[in-house]
Structure 1
Amino acid sequence: MNRLLCTIAMAALMCANATAQQFDKFFADSTLRLDYIFAGDTSRQAIYVDGQCLIPRWDGRRQRLDELPVAGNGQITVKDKGSGQVIYRHSFSTLFQEWLATAEAKHTSKSFENVFLVPYPRQAVDITVELRDYHNRITASLTHTVEPADILIRRIGFEHVTPYQTIQKAADTTRCIHIAYVAEGYRSDEMEAFLNDAKDATEALFAHEPFKQLRSRFNIVAVMSPSADSGTSEPANGIWKTTALSSHFDTFYSDRYLTTLNIKDLHDKLAGTPYEHIIILVNTAKYGGGGIYNSYNLSYTRGNQFKPVVVHEFGHSFGGLGDEYEYGNDDPMYFPDTEPWEPNLTTKHNFKGKWENLIKQGKASLIEGGGYQKQGVFRGVEKCRMRTNDVPDFCAVCQQALTRMIDFYTK
């Protein structure tokens, strides 16, 4: 038995060394921040390079670099220019793509900021950004070359770093998931309240499985970005505040949809802090929030639904989970000819690899209704945190998807 354990340990060590060598071959321990503008309307979309930044330290994964955890609504691919080898991939969703489903996008063109982080390349790379529609068809694509020695790549985060406090330190900070809370609508004299809110949000998140049992894999900081005004803007009420991230309600004219469109400002505030996944806490008593996969999770804090909301939105922003409630079948986002990329929803078009194992174990089934639609979209369990804030737990399907995501980043 001892000989077997030694063999397993040696194999694991060799695998870890190979992973480290692969990362070190292509990347330095720094971050390349890529700023883009996504623009257009329902008939045509385009992607434009808006800037590039060098940030000290890389806080993302160093293994499974050419894999995707889920497909997302868009993907970014980094190729070594010399060999053409894919050396890093990541997936995402954006507010721009959500906006394309609105009535406004049918007659008006708009632009949206987007920021992506990739490890800093040692040699020239070709970077491709792709946007996809609800049928998983590519609607816009851009490929551009980045030369790591380019003198116009801005250096940020080396000084004038926003003050931050560590809320929780991971057992291994080189192989963990970095989360940063960001203060929005908190004045300098309200930072103690922000830190308490960040601690409350942390305890709320880790009261849920699978986060509870895997807590040691998360490193969490609270970034104290001060605002001139307390609170956030409420356009429907004629209230406009001067805040760190210019967040506001009424996104896409939806009363409770609380977001920020100032993505570059957000990442400027985070430069030099240890971060990858972002939770923005907004100092307001008005109910609202939003979560965008691999972009950010944003939540109000001054109400009794704060904790359920921040956990639900983290399911979106970190886990890529879809909403499991339904409104009707107007303006559908899911179609019979396309399998949702979200791991907790299915149209039965290509169900393989989702939760068949849980059905066999009697822990889940296929229940119609989800993804805002009453028909044609199925979830696994009747009640779940991704369906309603009144349910205290993630269902078995969502827990399995979240565990897979955590393992993707840390194993």
Structure 2
Amino acid sequence: MTLVLLLLAFTPFLVGAGNQAKVDFNRFFLDRTMRIDYYHLGDNQQEVIALDKIYDQGLWAGPVKTLIDPFMRGRYCARVYDQASGQLIFARAFDSLFGEYKTTDEALKGIKRTFQETVLIPYPKQKISLAIEVRDKNNNFHQIFSQEIDPASIFIIKEKPESGVKVYELLKSGPPSQKVDLAFLAEGYTAAEEGKLKQDLDRFVAVFFSQEPYKSLKNKFNIYGVFKPSAESGCDEPGYGQFKQTALGCSFDSLGSDRYLLTDDNRRLRDLASNVPYDALMIMVNHNRYGGGGIYNLYCTFTTDNQWYEYLMLHEFGHSFTGLADEYYTSQVAYNEFYPRGIEPVEPNITALLNPKDVKWKKLLTPGTAVPTPWEKEEFDRFDLAYQKVRQELNERIARMKREGAPKDEVTKLEAESEKLSLEQGKKVEEFLARSKYAGKVGVFEGAGYASTGLYRPAVDCIMFTKGAKPYCPVCLEAVRQMIKFYSD
């Protein structure tokens, strides 16, 4: 059998190619999507990519006017070159679950893991070269994979979307290539819970459009709900010793963080999502426990029935859609040196402040604001770190009781205590930050990106910093607007 997909030697012209002249979509692409699935494996020191399968899949939902990513915010980048001319015809940066894994303790110990990943590109008319690049610790891209792909190959899969899936068209504003196509994927809803699913979809769409800039730009969105019934309600909770058969296999305790809720079953995710054109995916998890996650240009997750459900969805979508960084730094995470010291992060809402005279959001700085900007950090750290310690102890007690089969009423009582403390702390934090001298102003505030020192955020408070019903700060707001414009122009 002749191999249709040939692994190429690493060629210099593929590495580090910058933005080129505007690409004519109709010259190089069809109005369809090529889905390229691959395996990404390794540890902290090594990573390897191996091709899995390629699919011809539905209409192209992405922009057709701007095919070269103008933001380049992710730690990885997929670049597509016309094989005949060598011209760069498509580029998109992204983050990945493997990219997060390689910063964990396991990866640092040399424990290798394999993750499924996908790159979506417009369907090419002629042979292409696909290159995947990764940033080094200085944030420079280096190629780690290259593959020739023949779009006429008989081995490209042209299957219809799986049966037994229901699609709800929640908002239709225009053609997919001219709008942000957002798909809510239902996770952990049984067939008997379809009524709850519909109510949850309506509730979260309403929450989404209550927040700026989505509210003012509602006509830039198409929104779908996608439902494949799960055999069981909820999702996996390994820390509690509980596992469920669900549509997407979502699980708490991802990468060792109890509240981190992800799926590593990329194939199931992409198969389900293929029922609609999409630019962004939200996985709506039918659960009442606090948890979620968001990975840039991959997906976000959030639980539906926690008291912080509004914050969870909007915060996590900020990660997955716009590439916003976490601005908090007092709660535990599974990462080690997620942002290397002395290197400017690529995210738009945090900075290492390597040049105080050239802050990345200097155009939005409140006039007269000092850089860096003093704030009540010492007092905030004191009371929030004390709460985080209590919260962690409570979570560990709850997990232990569930694993050991403690009486349900005792567990429920402790869970209620934890939720009450969380709500009280959220109000305390919000009131404290609202009293700050710099509340509502754009400055450069130390403490961001999981680091108490050395990284800075634009505002004393923002939905990317603390819990609650609150807006994006002006810097995050502008970044979201730019991303919406990119997809809808």
TM-score by length of 2: 0.77
**AA in 1 matched with 2:336:** D
Seen in structure 2, the aligned counterparts of structure 1 residues 364 and 254 have a Cα distance that, compared at 3 Å, is same
Equivalent position of 1:3 in the other structure: none
- Which of 443, 454, 466 is the equivalent residue of 1:365? 443
How is 1:55-66 mapped onto 2 (pairs within 5 angstroms)? Answer: 55-66=57-68
- Which of 35, 48, 51 is the equivalent residue of 1:33? 35
Seen in structure 2, the aligned counterparts of structure 1 residues 298 and 159 have a Cα distance that, compared at 3 Å, is closer
**AA in 1 matched with 2:249:** S
Deviations 1:136-157, CA, capped at 9 Å, x for gaps: 1446610101100011111134
Is residue 161–residue 271 contact of structure 2 (8 Å, CA) maintained in 1?
no
- Choose 324-333 or 74-83, whichever is displaced more: 324-333
User: How far off is 1:349 after superposition?
Assistant: 3.2
Deviations 1:226-277, CA, capped at 9 Å, x for gaps: 1111110111111111111111111122111111000111010121312121
Is residue 247–residue 260 contact of structure 1 (8 Å, CA) maintained in 2?
yes
CA distance in structure 1 between the aligned counterparts of 2:160 and 2:275, rounded to whole angstroms: 4
User: How far off is 1:196 after superposition?
Assistant: 1.7
- Whether 1:201 aligns to 2:193 is no
How is 1:257-406 mapped onto 2 (pairs within 5 angstroms)? Answer: 257-327=260-330, 331-349=336-354, 354-359=360-365, 361=367, 363-406=441-484
CA distance in structure 2 between the aligned counterparts of 1:125 and 1:153, rounded to whole angstroms: 14
**AA in 1 matched with 2:360:** K
Report SS of the residue matched to 1:178: strand
Equivalent position of 1:167 in the other structure: 170
Is residue 73–residue 323 contact of structure 2 (8 Å, CA) maintained in 1?
no
Seen in structure 2, the aligned counterparts of structure 1 residues 225 and 145 have a Cα distance that, compared at 3 Å, is same
Seen in structure 2, the aligned counterparts of structure 1 residues 92 and 305 have a Cα distance that, compared at 3 Å, is same
CA distance in structure 2 between the aligned counterparts of 1:161 and 1:66, rounded to whole angstroms: 36
**AA in 2 matched with 1:335:** P
Seen in structure 2, the aligned counterparts of structure 1 residues 328 and 251 have a Cα distance that, compared at 3 Å, is closer
User: How far off is 1:117 after superposition?
Assistant: 0.8
- Whether 1:214 aligns to 2:292 is no
Seen in structure 2, the aligned counterparts of structure 1 residues 211 and 410 have a Cα distance that, compared at 3 Å, is same
User: How far off is 1:160 after superposition?
Assistant: 3.5
CA distance in structure 2 between the aligned counterparts of 1:287 and 1:159, rounded to whole angstroms: 31
Report SS of the residue matched to 2:51: strand
Seen in structure 2, the aligned counterparts of structure 1 residues 361 and 410 have a Cα distance that, compared at 3 Å, is farther
CA distance in structure 1 between the aligned counterparts of 2:208 and 2:331, rounded to whole angstroms: 30
Equivalent position of 1:111 in the other structure: 114
CA distance in structure 2 between the aligned counterparts of 1:170 and 1:353, rounded to whole angstroms: 37
Seen in structure 2, the aligned counterparts of structure 1 residues 403 and 361 have a Cα distance that, compared at 3 Å, is farther
**AA in 1 matched with 2:95:** S
Deviations 1:285-326, CA, capped at 9 Å, x for gaps: 111000000000101112221121011000000010000111
The two structures, once aligned, show a CA RMSD in angstroms of 2.1
**Higher Cα Rg: structure 1 or 2?**
2
CA distance in structure 1 between the aligned counterparts of 2:221 and 2:360, rounded to whole angstroms: 25
User: How far off is 1:161 after superposition?
Assistant: 7.4
Report SS of the residue matched to 2:365: helix
Report SS of the residue matched to 1:154: coil
CA distance in structure 1 between the aligned counterparts of 2:224 and 2:354, rounded to whole angstroms: 41
- The structure whose residues are more often strand, as a share, is 1
**AA in 2 matched with 1:323:** D
User: How far off is 1:125 after superposition?
Assistant: 0.4
CA distance in structure 1 between the aligned counterparts of 2:194 and 2:270, rounded to whole angstroms: 19
TM-score by length of 1: 0.91
Is residue 133–residue 141 contact of structure 2 (8 Å, CA) maintained in 1?
yes
Deviations 1:24-47, CA, capped at 9 Å, x for gaps: 111001100011111011121111
Deviations 1:118-169, CA, capped at 9 Å, x for gaps: 1000000000011224431446610101100011111134673732011111
**AA in 2 matched with 1:219:** N
CA distance in structure 2 between the aligned counterparts of 1:203 and 1:294, rounded to whole angstroms: 23
Q: Identity percentage over the alignment?
A: 36
Mark the runs of 5 or more structure 1 residues left unpaired by the alignment.
1-17
CA distance in structure 2 between the aligned counterparts of 1:275 and 1:328, rounded to whole angstroms: 33
Seen in structure 2, the aligned counterparts of structure 1 residues 359 and 133 have a Cα distance that, compared at 3 Å, is same
Report SS of the residue matched to 1:318: helix
Seen in structure 2, the aligned counterparts of structure 1 residues 156 and 275 have a Cα distance that, compared at 3 Å, is farther
**AA in 1 matched with 2:308:** Q
CA distance in structure 2 between the aligned counterparts of 1:124 and 1:344, rounded to whole angstroms: 38
CA distance in structure 1 between the aligned counterparts of 2:141 and 2:112, rounded to whole angstroms: 19
- Which of 61, 67, 70 is the equivalent residue of 1:68? 70
CA distance in structure 2 between the aligned counterparts of 1:67 and 1:297, rounded to whole angstroms: 20
**AA in 1 matched with 2:125:** R
CA distance in structure 2 between the aligned counterparts of 1:173 and 1:76, rounded to whole angstroms: 21
- Whether 1:146 aligns to 2:180 is no
**AA in 1 matched with 2:90:** Y
CA distance in structure 2 between the aligned counterparts of 1:35 and 1:173, rounded to whole angstroms: 22
